[in-house]
Chain A
Amino acid sequence: MNINEQRQARKGGLTFLAKSQLLSADDVSRALRRMAHEIVERNHSHSNLAVIGLQTGGIPFATTIASLLGEILGESVQLGLLDVSFYRDDLSINPVPVSSTTAIDHDLTGQTVVLVDDVLFTGRTIRAALNALSDWGRPQSVQLAVMVDRGHRELPIRPDYVGKNLPTSHNEAIVATLDGVWIGTQVPA
């Protein structure tokens, strides 16, 4: 596990204890390729596509999807990184999250933005990301791509592109990386 994944796994002073692997690296790579094709199919104009990965877990998936889109379209696609720590609605009830880099170097007005994250759970991170995006202009549309949708939404948010639907129970945890997807539990560090 690289540092970002460890940080992800250590969220809130908890450590991820894996129970079983649900997807292999090959499964993940095939799913991402399919999602890239779906993105191309669904968006008729490709010139204003921007892929934005959510820190930290979404970054490797966003990078991969952006380069696959580049391959398919034959032209490179804008890639940005977004950290939503400062936009979260749970700042007062959870420990202050450590922030990481945000790098969106262009105005998003009129663009079709594809937000990319690793796991979609309550939907609160996406809510924060939508708020954050409005500080970079007014996108034409915003779509959501996630590697894993594990259910338990607390907000009216749904993904447009899903790598894998994994029904989980509330106390289970999911770790999704390019090396595979694991299910397990969070235990105090």
Chain B
Amino acid sequence: MIDSIRGDNLLSLNDLSREAIVEVLDTAESFVEVNQRSIKKVPALKGRVVASLFFEESTRTRLSFETAAKRLSADVLSLAVASSSVKKGESLRDTIATIDALGIDAVVMRHQSSGAALQVSRYVPHVRVINAGDGLHQHPTQGLLDAFTIRQALAERRGTTGLETGAALFANLHILIVGDIRHSRVARSDIAAYVALGAQVRVAAPGTLLPEDIENWPVSVADDFDEALEWADVVGLLRLQRERGSGSFVPSLGEFTQTHGLTFERARRLRPEVLIMHPGPMNRGVEIDSRVADLPAAVIERQVTNGVPIRMAVLYLTVAGSKEGSPK
């Protein structure tokens, strides 16, 4: 168990303790305030270089990581993989070595292969590696920002702030995750974060979209989606990942929507206080009805907004200082 990500890599949420996660969420609260100032910039990472390496397409994660790094005053090296030597067949190891030779302090990396971030952390042990999504494995900052969004929304309703509540609002909170669990690194990171914070997590999906080793996961499996919706305090939807072949795991998109989509009908039966989440990008009309995405209970835009302070917190804690530090 890791009790703090300070001065460390962030590759997975699986081995983070509750304290480590709460520390990131609390630090992010400070950055929410920075993002509300008229000058949205602090000098914490002045002179540091953060490389952003996205081997897989992304809009929100890449933009929010680069915004986060810039608001911390870091210099950002951004590699556009499509127009780089990767297209000439350069290996991951050589690409990393080239970027490292320019002198970098951290790499933010997304890659289509599970474990790619871990591999890179072995190539460049002196550089902090932040996993921005690796294959089916993990998407740690998404898990953190989802937990942050839940804590913020629940704290606001109680007239308090996330900072005051620590992990208390997660005790016995019922979180339902629906959809393509098998191909989802977001589900894997979300579950790790929610369970570490003390929530109860249930998953609902057609049998073919559940991973084979689901019985080893710290979650229960819902037999019936509609019953599970009654149980839930938070409903987290997942994108049906057609680029990973999810389409061939269900008879048809229409049937998936019928059995496991959050249709307008289903959303209307939810208790009004139930939060609806989606990591984006949405397939409107498949896993979520277009009208549901625009309900007040949907915190989807807030998830995007919170991406910047969470990623600032992660960059600050991992990159700003050494783990132990030298004595004063």
Which A residues fall within an 8 A CB radius of B? Answer: 12-13, 83, 85-87, 91-96, 98-103, 131-132, 135-136
Contact = CB atoms under 8 A, between A and B. Distances in A.
A95 B27 CA distance: 15
A86 B316 contact: yes
A13 B321 CA distance: 15
Interface of B: 6-7, 23, 26-27, 29-30, 33-34, 37, 39, 41-44, 72, 163, 316-317, 320-328
Given A86-B44, A136-B37, A101 B30 contact: yes
Nearest to B328: A12
A86 B43 contact: yes
A96 B30 contact: no
Given A87-B44, A96-B7, A96-B316, A101 B326 contact: no
A92 B34 CA distance: 21
Contacts of A86: 30, 34, 42-44, 72, 316
A87 B322 CA distance: 16
B39 A135 contact: yes
Interface of B is mostly: loop
Contacts of B33: 101-103
Contacts, number: 69
5 contacts: A85-B30, A86-B72, A91-B44, A98-B27, A101-B33
A132 B44 CA distance: 11
Contact of A96 (B26, B37, B42, B321): B321
Contact of A99 (B27, B37, B324, B327): B27
Nearest to B327: A12
A157 to B, nearest CB: 18
Contacts of A96: 6-7, 316-317, 320-321
Given A87-B44, A135-B37, A93 B326 contact: yes
Contact of B321 (A95, A102, A135): A95
A150 to B, nearest CB: 14
